[in-house]
């Protein structure tokens, strides 16, 4: 009886262990920041410092106890250029059932998990000039693949993630104002203290800074001092939900906009725009990179708010109203070769009633806040 129990016990243990060891060691990769727009090649330096920013995480899971010898393979593939780089670690022992690594471990100079003897392909060498000039991966989709293999044999297990690099770089101011010069008189005159600020960019996050000019101080210095207006905006053109993670430090304090423009607030700000004063403004674009937030500054524009009692004749008043509403489209319509180049208004209607230009100017703030487009009749 005893021998039968012993036989069945061994058989049961054999079946259980056989099933347990039939399970594979698995690997899972995760990109730390899903919103990467720019990737600095220095963060992929195989012999770089271990203090590099954390870009991705690798989790290796071993479903059975005891030490197991494995090797890790790493590769990068580009959609446009094909395979760019491959490397592997020396064999190492997995002691725990769960091992967490990151790019800091793989790209360290020395260590158990360091990648050895990277193979840089001819395709990657074609990117050499671009990379040397910019220090960044060019616009493309890149697939990062990690594969884990047991030295004793068996099928390897792999996982991968994709990074779409766009390298946004466009940042141009449109209205109000003109580029700063040494002559204060070159600052564009506008006729509202609540202008619609507009700029063009292929970025998504911005800081808009506005400050009053001070005698004897350069624009850079003025924009770095209080009192000033600082607005933080993120562009959500498609009304996407959770365009930045709620727990992300970069999401705090940002206001969503449908496009690159905003109406200066009528109240609640420490900086009040006053008639007769000159103001400087600039936009700082914020790009998510593998090194953290990368900031790009626009040039500085200046403008002067006119005193309404000093405004010129009817033509100047009408130009002000149309420029304020149309922005950059004004020159397209009323400039040389525009559809309305020689057009002269004979009367002005507001909500179906005839009004003077002075009345219309007084209503500009309300008009701007409700403005959604125009049509030509």
Asked if 221 and 246 touch (Cβ cutoff 8 Å), the reply is no
Asked if 131 and 81 touch (Cβ cutoff 8 Å), the reply is no
**Structural domains for the chain:** 20-165 (2.60.40.10), 168-309 (2.60.40.10), 311-377 (no CATH)
Residue carrying structure tokens 């360091």: 114
Asked if 213 and 183 touch (Cβ cutoff 8 Å), the reply is no
What pLDDT was estimated at residue 10? 41
Query: Which pLDDT tens digit goes with each residue over 164-216?
Result: 999 999 999 999 999 998 887 789 888 788 889 999 999 999 999 999 999 98
User: How do strand 229-235 and strand 255-257 relate by DSSP bridges?
Assistant: parallel
Residue of 64, 214, 250, 57 whose CA lies nearest to 152:
64
Structure tokens at 41: 């090649």
CA distances from 176 to 59, 103, 146 (A): 52, 45, 51
Sequence-distant (≥ 6) Cβ neighbours of residue 367 within 8 angstroms: 325, 360
Instruction: Per-residue pLDDT tens, the chain, 377 aa: give them.
Output: 444 444 444 434 343 444 444 578 999 999 998 888 998 877 876 555 556 788 999 999 999 888 999 999 999 999 999 999 899 999 999 999 999 999 989 988 778 899 988 888 888 888 877 787 888 889 999 999 999 999 998 889 999 999 999 999 999 999 999 999 888 778 988 878 888 999 999 999 999 999 999 998 999 999 999 999 999 999 987 655 555 544 454 456 899 999 999 989 877 777 889 988 999 999 999 999 988 899 999 999 999 988 765 555 666 667 767 766 676 677 778 777 788 877 777 777 777 777 776 667 666 656 655 666 667 76
Q: What is the DSSP letter of 249?
A: G
Residue of 61, 66, 82, 84 whose CA lies nearest to 74:
84
252: helix, strand or coil: coil
**Does the CA dihedral 30-35-40-41 come out positive or negative?**
positive
**Does the CA dihedral 142-246-291-53 come out positive or negative?**
negative
Q: Rounded CA gap, 310 and 218, in Å? A: 28
Sequence-distant (≥ 6) Cβ neighbours of residue 315 within 8 angstroms: none
Residue carrying structure tokens 């967490």: 100
Q: Rounded CA gap, 211 and 271, in Å? A: 7
What pLDDT was estimated at residue 236? 87
What pLDDT was estimated at residue 18? 45
Residue of 293, 299, 298, 282 whose CA lies nearest to 252:
293
Q: What is the DSSP letter of 146?
A: E
User: In the chain, how long is the greatest CA-to-CA distance?
Assistant: 116
What pLDDT was estimated at residue 285? 96
Q: What is the DSSP letter of 73?
A: E
Q: Rounded CA gap, 151 and 283, in Å? A: 55
Dihedrals φ, ψ of 88, to 5°? -145, 160
What pLDDT was estimated at residue 23? 76
Q: Rounded CA gap, 310 and 114, in Å? A: 72
């Amino acid at each position: 009886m005893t021998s039968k129990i012993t036989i069945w016990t061994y058989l049961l243990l054999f079946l259980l262990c056989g099933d347990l060891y039939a399970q594979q060691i698995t690997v899972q990769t995760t990109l730390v920041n899903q919103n990467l727009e720019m990737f600095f090649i220095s963060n992929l330096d195989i012999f770089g410092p271990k203090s590099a920013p954390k870009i991705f995480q690798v989790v290796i899971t071993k479903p059975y106890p005891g030490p197991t010898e494995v090797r890790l393979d790493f590769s990068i593939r580009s959609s446009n250029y094909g395979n760019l780089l491959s490397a592997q670690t020396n064999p190492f022992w997995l002691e725990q059932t769960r091992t967490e690594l990151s790019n800091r471990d793989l790209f360290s100079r020395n260590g158990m998990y360091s990648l050895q003897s990277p193979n840089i392909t001819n395709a990657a060498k074609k990117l050499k000039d671009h990379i040397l000039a910019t220090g960044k991966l060019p616009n493309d989709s890149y697939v990062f693949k990690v594969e884990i293999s047991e030295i004793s044999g068996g099928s390897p297990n792999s996982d991968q993630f994709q990074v779409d690099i766009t390298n946004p770089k466009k940042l141009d101011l449109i209205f109000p104002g003109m580029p700063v010069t040494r002559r204060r008189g070159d600052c564009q005159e506008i006729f509202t203290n609540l202008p619609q600020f507009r700029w063009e960019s292929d970025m998504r996050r911005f800081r808009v800074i506005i400050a009053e000019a001070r005698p004897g101080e350069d624009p850079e210095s003025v924009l770095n001092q209080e009192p000033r207006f600082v607005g933080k905006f993120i562009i959500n053109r498609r009304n996407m939900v959770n365009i930045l993670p709620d727990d992300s430090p970069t999401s705090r304090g940002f206001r969503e906009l449908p496009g690159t423009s905003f109406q200066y607030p009528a109240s609640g700000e420490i900086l009040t725009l006053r008639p007769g004063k000159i103001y400087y403004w600039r936009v700082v674009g914020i790009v998510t990179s593998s090194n953290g937030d990368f900031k790009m500054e626009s040039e500085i524009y200046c403008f002067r708010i006119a005193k309404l009692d000093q405004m010129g004749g009817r033509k100047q008043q009408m130009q002000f109203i149309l420029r304020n509403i149309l922005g950059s489209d004004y020159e397209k319509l009323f400039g040389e070769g525009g559809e309305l180049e020689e057009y002269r208004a004979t009367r002005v209607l507001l909500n179906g009633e005839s009004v003077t230009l002075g009345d219309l100017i007084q209503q500009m703030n309300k008009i701007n806040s409700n403005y959604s487009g125009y049509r030509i009749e």
